[in-house]
Chain A
Amino acid sequence: MDEKQKFRLIVSEVLQIEEDQVTDYLSPEQVDTWDSLNHINLIGVLEQEFGLTLATENLERSQSIPGLKALLAEHGIHV
């Protein structure tokens, strides 16, 4: 599985949505289940599964798919 697939799978699992709903521009407003707790969950899973640590200031700005993608890109992971 490549990183892009892994990322989509993780987001769909945590937010409990279909994989094809994980579009490049998805944001919390569009997803009922993307509340602050699930966001922390998402960060936690991404960190565990990709083996990285995200700085606290980034936890706020990463609350969208573009935000997460940018954050992961900073760590050399391109999804």
Chain B
Amino acid sequence: MNDNDPTGQPLDQAQAVALLDGVHAEPTLVRMMQAGRQIAALREVLGRVSIRIGCVSSFTFEPIKPALELQALRAGLALDAYVGPYGQFEQELINPSSALAAFKPDVVLLAIRLQDVCPALYDSFCGLTQDDARTMLDGWFDRLTTALRTFSQRSSAYVLVQNYDLPASAALGIADRAAEFSQRATIGDANEHLAALAGELSNVRVMDYDALVAQHGRVHWGDARTALFARIPIGNKHYWSLAGFYVRYLRPLFGLTKKVLVLDADHTLWGGVVGDVGIDGIALGHDFPGNAFVLFQKRILDLYNRGVVIALASKNEPGSVEEVLEKHPEMVLRAEHFAAMRINWEPKPENLRRMAADLNLGLDSFVFIDDSPVECEMMRAALPQVMTVQLPADPAGYPGLIESLDCFDQPKVSAEDRQRGALYKAEAGRRAFQEEVVDLPTFYRRLEMRMILFVNHAAHVARAAQLTNRTNQFNMHTIRCTEDDIRRFIASNDHELITLALMDRFGDNGVVGLAVVQKGDDAWIAHLFLMSCRVLGRTVEQTFIRWIAERARVAGAKCLIGEFVPTAKNKPFAGFFEDCGFRATDSTGDAQRWALDLDAADTKIPDWMTVEVGG
């Protein structure tokens, strides 16, 4: 400790991250305390999101607060925490003028232990009958349900409830497992009941506290002395882990989940330097250390399969790495699993910057893993917003490191999450492809584009509404529609909603464009015409308007009309009508009308585009 008071000095992001990494490496009370003295400076530089959290508990929660604030900042979350006096959780939740209510929390943490509200289940189990237990638990859940429902009526705050941990030793000893009235089963049932209750209340989530205690070991989790003396049941060496546990559930609520894992290659995916020892010399296989790397890759593949974006940043000749990815029989991860690969001799921070731009994801959602302390230091200094994790010296510790990463956690893993890797790979394919362009028609043909058009397709209502609200650049009139607006267009006899889906050689782009046309006898008027900027510049938009023009002509119309209204964002649309052979007619204020004479119009579909009608 130094003579200067460190509390007033500002920190830059790298210093702040280093300070908290230091606490994480050795979470003693002293380190937490010292870091806590600089909480204001840490909040200033690391707090990306600020929230108010109300902690209500059945035990003395105050000692956890410093750890909670610091762990939250590691995740980018600045907490303004209210800790209620223990044992008053019901009044806090139910009373509309309670201190908790006045605090107006964004999140409530409900740290209630079953040992505190139904002590007999833990302390006197052998003297209870099954009915006694049932009555006790029913009574408790009635109280809890009332408190949660009452609170939820007044507040839309999330309520995170921790579940109930099993005792370290069953009261019935070895007889518990086979017992008809088992302590473990009883507490397990209580946890099921809690999960069901959370299922009924949209803002309530359960935190698996039992799993946390089991992970650390039930025997040494608690501290009997502080529990009996001060009602602090958790041992002080676990405050940091407990705080991290709570933050694990907070992170995804506020958009702070990490999304990308960037890996090194040498000494990370395999043992050895492939540039030096060749593909046959690297350690990757069935015996140690090769099997540690295989297991490590399997853990990463599992992350891939639950929606984490995987990328590679390696200082190597591209050929050496690509050969291993393609040909080594023991590789678990292959080129297809990497949404981005930067294999070159440039500084890794620069590679990550480019990856972030390519993937369109913020660097603060990146995790960087490398074995080299030098690379890690460089990354921490250059890009402190990236979470840098150095691999342990012993490869046996590699798989466990991946297991310990909780920053990718989400409350649910969706079907879309499982697809994410493939979607990103398809995008990467398209990008790489564009970098080796020949002449345009050849480029278009190589894309193997297939347009599928749907007319008045009810299944596209939600997506159509979303497109009208999110598309700003290639948007003729920038009219925002609700789903009901879209349904009205579909229902109307005079109007048609035409949605456009695009597939190409790299995959399915989904529904990327739409038009709403009003079908008059002489003229068809396009009221909406828009396309996602992701698919512009490939003649999709021109083909779309030609298809609509042909449709209008076949219906007997003489003219197709559109009205362009310029905004701050839709400059990309400005020359479109003119390029497609429309002529400018009248204008009102900013709005310019354009008309296409259908008799003379060229409505030919280019040879590189396949057009189908779907639905």
Binding site for B on A (CB under 8 A): 9-10, 13-14, 36-37, 40-41, 44-45, 48-49, 54-56, 59-60
Task: Report Cα–Cα, A36/B230, bound state, in Å.
Answer: 8
- Whole-angstrom distance from the CB of A13 to the nearest CB of chain B? 6
Q: List 6 A-B contacts (CB under 8 A).
A: A9-B1, A14-B33, A37-B62, A48-B29, A48-B237, A59-B225
Query: In B215-234, which residues have CB < 8 Å from any A CB?
Result: 224-226, 228-230, 232
Contact of B226 (CB < 8 Å), options: A9, A40, A60:
A40
Task: Report Cα–Cα, A10/B30, bound state, in Å.
Answer: 8
Is there contact, CB below 8 Å, between B34 and A13? yes
A9-B1, A40-B63, A41-B63 are contacts. A48–B225 as well, Cβ < 8 Å?
no
Task: Report Cα–Cα, A37/B1, bound state, in Å.
Answer: 23
Is there contact, CB below 8 Å, between A13 and B237? no
- Whole-angstrom distance from the CB of A11 to the nearest CB of chain B? 12
Closest to B232 in A: A40
| Per-residue A-contact encoding for B38-81, CB less than 8 Å = 1, 0 else | 00000000000000000000001011000000000000000000
| Per-residue A-contact encoding for B140-161, CB less than 8 Å = 1, 0 else | 0000000000000000000000
Contacts of B237 in A (CB 8 A): 48
Contacts of B229 in A (CB 8 A): 40, 56, 59-60
Q: Does B236 lie at the interface of the complex (its beta carbon under 8 Å from any beta carbon of A)?
A: yes
Is there contact, CB below 8 Å, between A45 and B30? yes
Task: Report Cα–Cα, A54/B232, bound state, in Å.
Answer: 16
Task: Report Cα–Cα, A55/B224, bound state, in Å.
Answer: 10
Is there contact, CB below 8 Å, between A44 and B230? no
Closest to A45 in B: B29
Contacts of B62 in A (CB 8 A): 37
Contacts of A60 in B (CB 8 A): 229
Contact of B30 (CB < 8 Å), options: A37, A49, A55, A59:
A49
Contacts of A10 in B (CB 8 A): 30
Is there contact, CB below 8 Å, between A45 and B33? yes
A37-B62, A40-B63 are contacts. A48–B226 as well, Cβ < 8 Å?
no
Majority-rule SS of A interface residues: helix
Is there contact, CB below 8 Å, between B29 and A37? no
Closest to A19 in B: B1
Contact of B60 (CB < 8 Å), options: A37, A45, A56:
A37
Contacts of A48 in B (CB 8 A): 28-30, 236-237
Task: Report Cα–Cα, A21/B460, bound state, in Å.
Answer: 73
Closest to A58 in B: B225
Is there contact, CB below 8 Å, between A13 and B225? no
Is there contact, CB below 8 Å, between A13 and B28? no
User: How many residues on the B side are at the interface (Cβ–Cβ under 8 A)?
Assistant: 18
- Whole-angstrom distance from the CB of A46 to the nearest CB of chain B? 9
Task: Report Cα–Cα, A55/B30, bound state, in Å.
Answer: 21
Q: Which of A13, A40, A45 has the most CB of B within 10 A?
A: A40
Contacts of B29 in A (CB 8 A): 41, 44-45, 48
- Whole-angstrom distance from the CB of B84 to the nearest CB of chain A? 14
Task: Report Cα–Cα, A36/B246, bound state, in Å.
Answer: 25
Is there contact, CB below 8 Å, between B63 and A13? no
5 new A-B contacts, CB < 8 A, other than A37-B63, A56-B228, are A40-B229, A44-B226, A45-B33, A55-B225, A56-B229
Task: Report Cα–Cα, A72/B68, bound state, in Å.
Answer: 30
Query: In B16-33, which residues have CB < 8 Å from any A CB?
Result: 28-30, 33
- Whole-angstrom distance from the CB of A8 to the nearest CB of chain B? 11
- Whole-angstrom distance from the CB of B312 to the nearest CB of chain A? 41
Is there contact, CB below 8 Å, between A13 and B228? no
Is there contact, CB below 8 Å, between A40 and B33? no
A48-B29, A56-B225 are contacts. A40–B230 as well, Cβ < 8 Å?
yes
- Whole-angstrom distance from the CB of A36 to the nearest CB of chain B? 7
Contacts of A40 in B (CB 8 A): 63, 226, 229-230, 232
Closest to B225 in A: A56
Is there contact, CB below 8 Å, between A13 and B236? no
Contacts of B228 in A (CB 8 A): 56
Task: Report Cα–Cα, A37/B231, bound state, in Å.
Answer: 11
Smallest CB-CB A-B distances: 10 pairs:
A56-B225, A44-B236, A45-B29, A59-B229, A40-B230, A44-B29, A48-B28, A37-B62, A56-B229, A48-B29
- Whole-angstrom distance from the CB of A71 to the nearest CB of chain B? 13
Closest to B223 in A: A44
Task: Report Cα–Cα, A48/B63, bound state, in Å.
Answer: 15
- Whole-angstrom distance from the CB of B231 to the nearest CB of chain A? 10
Contacts of A55 in B (CB 8 A): 225
Contacts of A37 in B (CB 8 A): 60, 62-63, 230
Task: Report Cα–Cα, A59/B236, bound state, in Å.
Answer: 15
Task: Report Cα–Cα, A41/B230, bound state, in Å.
Answer: 11
- Whole-angstrom distance from the CB of A54 to the nearest CB of chain B? 8
Is there contact, CB below 8 Å, between B30 and A13? yes
- Whole-angstrom distance from the CB of A37 to the nearest CB of chain B? 5
- Whole-angstrom distance from the CB of A41 to the nearest CB of chain B? 7
- Whole-angstrom distance from the CB of B3 to the nearest CB of chain A? 10
